[in-house]
Structure 1
Amino acid sequence: MKYVILIHSNPQPWGHPTGDFVAENQALPQEQRASMNAAFDKLLGELQANGELVGGEALGDPASATVVRWKDGEVLATEGPYAETREHLAGFFLIDVESPERAGDIVRGFAGPGETIELRPAMWPGGES
Protein backbone atom coordinates (compact mmCIF):
# COMPACT_ATOMS: atom_id res chain seq x y z
CA MET A 1 0.00 0.00 0.00
CA LYS A 2 1.45 3.32 -1.03
CA TYR A 3 0.93 6.49 0.97
CA VAL A 4 2.05 10.06 0.51
CA ILE A 5 3.22 11.97 3.56
CA LEU A 6 2.58 15.67 2.88
CA ILE A 7 4.39 18.23 5.00
CA HIS A 8 2.54 21.54 5.37
CA SER A 9 4.57 24.35 6.88
CA ASN A 10 5.31 28.06 6.61
CA PRO A 11 9.00 28.54 7.37
CA GLN A 12 10.23 32.13 7.44
CA PRO A 13 12.35 32.56 5.46
CA TRP A 14 11.45 29.56 3.28
CA GLY A 15 14.04 26.85 3.80
CA HIS A 16 14.68 23.22 4.55
CA PRO A 17 14.63 21.40 6.81
CA THR A 18 11.53 23.41 7.57
CA GLY A 19 11.88 23.01 11.33
CA ASP A 20 15.02 25.14 11.23
CA PHE A 21 12.89 28.05 10.00
CA VAL A 22 9.68 27.57 12.03
CA ALA A 23 9.28 29.67 15.20
CA GLU A 24 7.68 26.84 17.22
CA ASN A 25 10.67 24.59 16.56
CA GLN A 26 13.22 27.35 17.07
CA ALA A 27 11.73 28.00 20.53
CA LEU A 28 12.67 24.49 21.70
CA PRO A 29 15.95 23.92 23.56
CA GLN A 30 18.84 23.07 21.21
CA GLU A 31 19.24 19.63 22.81
CA GLN A 32 15.61 18.77 22.09
CA ARG A 33 15.88 19.94 18.47
CA ALA A 34 19.05 17.89 18.01
CA SER A 35 17.34 14.82 19.47
CA MET A 36 14.31 15.27 17.21
CA ASN A 37 16.53 15.70 14.13
CA ALA A 38 18.51 12.58 15.02
CA ALA A 39 15.30 10.57 15.48
CA PHE A 40 14.01 11.75 12.09
CA ASP A 41 17.30 10.90 10.36
CA LYS A 42 17.17 7.46 11.97
CA LEU A 43 13.59 6.94 10.78
CA LEU A 44 14.51 7.90 7.20
CA GLY A 45 17.48 5.54 7.32
CA GLU A 46 15.31 2.67 8.52
CA LEU A 47 12.65 3.32 5.88
CA GLN A 48 15.32 3.40 3.19
CA ALA A 49 17.04 0.25 4.46
CA ASN A 50 13.84 -1.80 4.59
CA GLY A 51 12.53 -0.57 1.21
CA GLU A 52 9.52 1.36 2.53
CA LEU A 53 10.81 4.76 1.39
CA VAL A 54 10.00 5.15 -2.31
CA GLY A 55 11.11 8.79 -2.55
CA GLY A 56 10.53 12.34 -1.47
CA GLU A 57 11.39 15.93 -2.21
CA ALA A 58 11.53 19.26 -0.46
CA LEU A 59 9.61 21.93 -2.37
CA GLY A 60 10.69 25.47 -3.21
CA ASP A 61 9.20 28.70 -1.91
CA PRO A 62 5.48 29.05 -2.77
CA ALA A 63 6.33 32.50 -4.16
CA SER A 64 8.13 30.68 -7.00
CA ALA A 65 5.07 28.56 -7.86
CA THR A 66 2.89 28.83 -10.95
CA VAL A 67 -0.70 27.67 -10.84
CA VAL A 68 -2.39 26.63 -14.07
CA ARG A 69 -6.17 26.52 -14.18
CA TRP A 70 -8.81 26.05 -16.81
CA LYS A 71 -11.14 29.04 -16.89
CA ASP A 72 -13.74 30.03 -19.47
CA GLY A 73 -12.35 27.57 -21.99
CA GLU A 74 -8.76 28.80 -21.72
CA VAL A 75 -5.65 27.97 -19.76
CA LEU A 76 -4.80 30.63 -17.21
CA ALA A 77 -1.40 30.68 -15.49
CA THR A 78 -0.95 32.63 -12.25
CA GLU A 79 2.27 33.23 -10.35
CA GLY A 80 2.42 32.21 -6.69
CA PRO A 81 2.02 32.32 -3.86
CA TYR A 82 -1.53 31.23 -4.47
CA ALA A 83 -2.84 29.37 -1.43
CA GLU A 84 -5.26 31.20 0.84
CA THR A 85 -3.73 29.58 3.88
CA ARG A 86 -1.03 30.19 6.43
CA GLU A 87 0.69 26.91 5.65
CA HIS A 88 1.96 25.71 2.29
CA LEU A 89 3.02 22.33 0.99
CA ALA A 90 6.70 22.18 1.90
CA GLY A 91 7.58 18.66 0.78
CA PHE A 92 6.47 15.07 0.48
CA PHE A 93 7.58 11.49 0.94
CA LEU A 94 6.18 8.44 -0.82
CA ILE A 95 6.16 5.25 1.23
CA ASP A 96 5.14 1.70 0.37
CA VAL A 97 4.04 -0.26 3.44
CA GLU A 98 2.17 -3.44 4.34
CA SER A 99 -0.73 -1.82 6.18
CA PRO A 100 -2.49 1.41 7.12
CA GLU A 101 -1.33 0.83 10.70
CA ARG A 102 2.31 0.81 9.60
CA ALA A 103 1.75 4.05 7.66
CA GLY A 104 0.24 5.58 10.80
CA ASP A 105 3.25 4.50 12.86
CA ILE A 106 5.64 6.04 10.34
CA VAL A 107 3.84 9.36 9.91
CA ARG A 108 4.07 10.12 13.64
CA GLY A 109 7.84 10.36 13.17
CA PHE A 110 7.36 13.17 10.65
CA ALA A 111 5.40 15.46 12.99
CA GLY A 112 7.17 18.50 14.35
CA PRO A 113 6.38 21.80 16.05
CA GLY A 114 4.75 24.35 13.75
CA GLU A 115 4.02 21.84 10.99
CA THR A 116 0.98 19.88 9.85
CA ILE A 117 1.59 16.42 8.45
CA GLU A 118 -0.98 14.76 6.21
CA LEU A 119 -1.03 11.04 5.43
CA ARG A 120 -2.96 10.19 2.29
CA PRO A 121 -3.27 6.90 0.41
CA ALA A 122 -1.90 7.04 -3.11
CA MET A 123 -4.52 6.32 -5.73
CA TRP A 124 -3.65 4.45 -8.89
CA PRO A 125 -5.57 4.18 -12.19
CA GLY A 126 -8.85 2.38 -11.72
CA GLY A 127 -9.70 4.11 -8.44
CA GLU A 128 -7.95 1.65 -6.15
CA SER A 129 -5.71 2.93 -3.39
Structure 2
Amino acid sequence: MENLQELLLKNGYRKIAFTVSKTQHLFLKAKINGISGDFILDTGASNSCIDFSHIEHFNIEASDSNTKASGAGANGMLTQVSYQNKLQMGRWKNPKTDLILLDLSHVNIALKQYKAKTVHGIIGADVLLRGEALIDYKNKYLFLK
Protein backbone atom coordinates (compact mmCIF):
# COMPACT_ATOMS: atom_id res chain seq x y z
CA MET A 1 0.00 0.00 0.00
CA GLU A 2 1.23 3.50 -0.86
CA ASN A 3 1.91 5.89 1.92
CA LEU A 4 -0.17 9.06 2.14
CA GLN A 5 2.68 11.33 1.07
CA GLU A 6 3.26 9.36 -2.16
CA LEU A 7 -0.47 9.33 -2.88
CA LEU A 8 -0.77 13.10 -2.42
CA LEU A 9 2.25 13.82 -4.63
CA LYS A 10 0.91 11.46 -7.30
CA ASN A 11 -2.39 13.38 -7.20
CA GLY A 12 -0.90 16.79 -7.87
CA TYR A 13 -0.10 18.03 -4.38
CA ARG A 14 3.09 19.95 -3.63
CA LYS A 15 5.00 19.35 -0.40
CA ILE A 16 6.15 22.36 1.64
CA ALA A 17 8.27 21.90 4.75
CA PHE A 18 7.59 23.90 7.89
CA THR A 19 9.22 24.17 11.30
CA VAL A 20 7.67 24.49 14.72
CA SER A 21 8.99 27.36 16.83
CA LYS A 22 9.47 27.46 20.60
CA THR A 23 6.14 29.30 20.70
CA GLN A 24 4.45 26.38 18.87
CA HIS A 25 3.88 28.49 15.75
CA LEU A 26 4.30 26.83 12.37
CA PHE A 27 6.93 28.72 10.35
CA LEU A 28 7.55 28.41 6.64
CA LYS A 29 9.33 30.20 3.83
CA ALA A 30 7.35 31.73 1.00
CA LYS A 31 7.98 34.07 -1.89
CA ILE A 32 5.78 37.05 -2.62
CA ASN A 33 6.38 38.50 -6.07
CA GLY A 34 9.60 36.48 -6.27
CA ILE A 35 11.01 37.73 -2.96
CA SER A 36 11.59 35.37 -0.02
CA GLY A 37 10.12 35.92 3.40
CA ASP A 38 9.33 34.21 6.68
CA PHE A 39 5.71 33.46 7.53
CA ILE A 40 3.54 31.89 10.18
CA LEU A 41 1.17 29.25 8.87
CA ASP A 42 -2.08 30.08 10.68
CA THR A 43 -5.17 27.97 10.05
CA GLY A 44 -7.16 30.38 12.23
CA ALA A 45 -6.33 33.47 10.17
CA SER A 46 -9.02 34.07 7.58
CA ASN A 47 -6.67 35.91 5.19
CA SER A 48 -3.01 35.94 4.37
CA CYS A 49 -1.34 39.16 5.37
CA ILE A 50 1.87 41.13 5.25
CA ASP A 51 3.15 43.66 7.77
CA PHE A 52 3.00 47.28 6.59
CA SER A 53 6.76 47.57 7.07
CA HIS A 54 7.39 44.99 4.32
CA ILE A 55 5.32 46.51 1.49
CA GLU A 56 8.42 47.73 -0.36
CA HIS A 57 10.39 44.56 0.41
CA PHE A 58 7.84 42.47 -1.54
CA ASN A 59 7.15 45.08 -4.26
CA ILE A 60 3.49 45.21 -3.23
CA GLU A 61 1.04 47.73 -4.62
CA ALA A 62 -1.20 48.76 -1.74
CA SER A 63 -4.74 50.09 -2.03
CA ASP A 64 -6.83 51.65 0.71
CA SER A 65 -9.38 49.48 2.49
CA ASN A 66 -12.31 50.35 4.75
CA THR A 67 -12.07 46.98 6.48
CA LYS A 68 -10.77 46.81 10.04
CA ALA A 69 -8.88 43.70 11.07
CA SER A 70 -9.08 41.74 14.31
CA GLY A 71 -6.94 38.98 15.64
CA ALA A 72 -5.40 37.52 18.74
CA GLY A 73 -4.17 40.47 20.77
CA ALA A 74 -5.47 43.26 18.54
CA ASN A 75 -8.79 44.63 17.30
CA GLY A 76 -9.91 47.39 14.95
CA MET A 77 -6.61 47.53 13.08
CA LEU A 78 -6.40 49.67 9.95
CA THR A 79 -5.74 47.69 6.79
CA GLN A 80 -4.81 48.06 3.18
CA VAL A 81 -5.18 45.46 0.46
CA SER A 82 -3.02 44.30 -2.42
CA TYR A 83 -4.43 42.31 -5.34
CA GLN A 84 -3.01 39.63 -7.61
CA ASN A 85 0.38 39.01 -6.05
CA LYS A 86 2.50 36.03 -6.98
CA LEU A 87 2.74 33.60 -4.07
CA GLN A 88 5.10 30.63 -4.09
CA MET A 89 5.74 28.08 -1.36
CA GLY A 90 8.10 25.35 -2.42
CA ARG A 91 6.93 24.28 -5.87
CA TRP A 92 3.32 25.40 -5.27
CA LYS A 93 2.41 28.69 -6.96
CA ASN A 94 -0.57 31.00 -7.14
CA PRO A 95 -0.17 34.04 -9.40
CA LYS A 96 -3.32 35.80 -8.17
CA THR A 97 -3.06 36.02 -4.38
CA ASP A 98 -4.75 38.92 -2.63
CA LEU A 99 -3.07 40.07 0.59
CA ILE A 100 -4.22 42.09 3.56
CA LEU A 101 -1.65 44.64 4.72
CA LEU A 102 -1.67 45.55 8.39
CA ASP A 103 0.48 46.25 11.43
CA LEU A 104 1.85 42.94 12.70
CA SER A 105 4.24 44.54 15.19
CA HIS A 106 2.30 42.99 18.10
CA VAL A 107 2.99 39.53 16.62
CA ASN A 108 6.70 40.20 16.18
CA ILE A 109 7.03 41.77 19.64
CA ALA A 110 5.55 38.62 21.15
CA LEU A 111 7.88 36.42 19.10
CA LYS A 112 10.91 38.46 20.18
CA GLN A 113 9.93 38.10 23.84
CA TYR A 114 10.28 34.35 23.42
CA LYS A 115 13.48 34.76 21.39
CA ALA A 116 11.72 33.33 18.34
CA LYS A 117 12.31 34.47 14.79
CA THR A 118 10.16 37.38 13.57
CA VAL A 119 7.99 37.13 10.46
CA HIS A 120 7.07 39.16 7.40
CA GLY A 121 3.49 37.94 7.46
CA ILE A 122 0.95 35.18 7.87
CA ILE A 123 -0.30 32.53 5.48
CA GLY A 124 -3.99 32.10 6.27
CA ALA A 125 -7.04 30.02 5.45
CA ASP A 126 -7.60 31.76 2.11
CA VAL A 127 -4.48 30.08 0.71
CA LEU A 128 -5.11 26.82 2.56
CA LEU A 129 -8.63 26.54 1.15
CA ARG A 130 -7.55 27.46 -2.38
CA GLY A 131 -4.79 24.86 -2.25
CA GLU A 132 -6.98 22.16 -0.68
CA ALA A 133 -4.43 21.99 2.14
CA LEU A 134 -3.51 18.98 4.18
CA ILE A 135 -1.12 19.38 7.09
CA ASP A 136 1.10 16.53 8.23
CA TYR A 137 2.02 17.71 11.72
CA LYS A 138 4.11 14.65 12.57
CA ASN A 139 6.45 15.02 9.58
CA LYS A 140 6.12 18.84 9.40
CA TYR A 141 4.82 19.17 5.85
CA LEU A 142 2.07 21.26 4.33
CA PHE A 143 0.56 19.78 1.16
CA LEU A 144 -1.15 22.08 -1.36
CA LYS A 145 -2.79 21.12 -4.65
Q: TM-score, normalised by structure 1?
A: 0.28
Rg larger for: 1
By relative contact order (CA 8 Å, sep 6+), the higher-ranking structure is 1
Q: TM-score, normalised by structure 2?
A: 0.26
Structure with the higher helix share, 1 or 2? 1
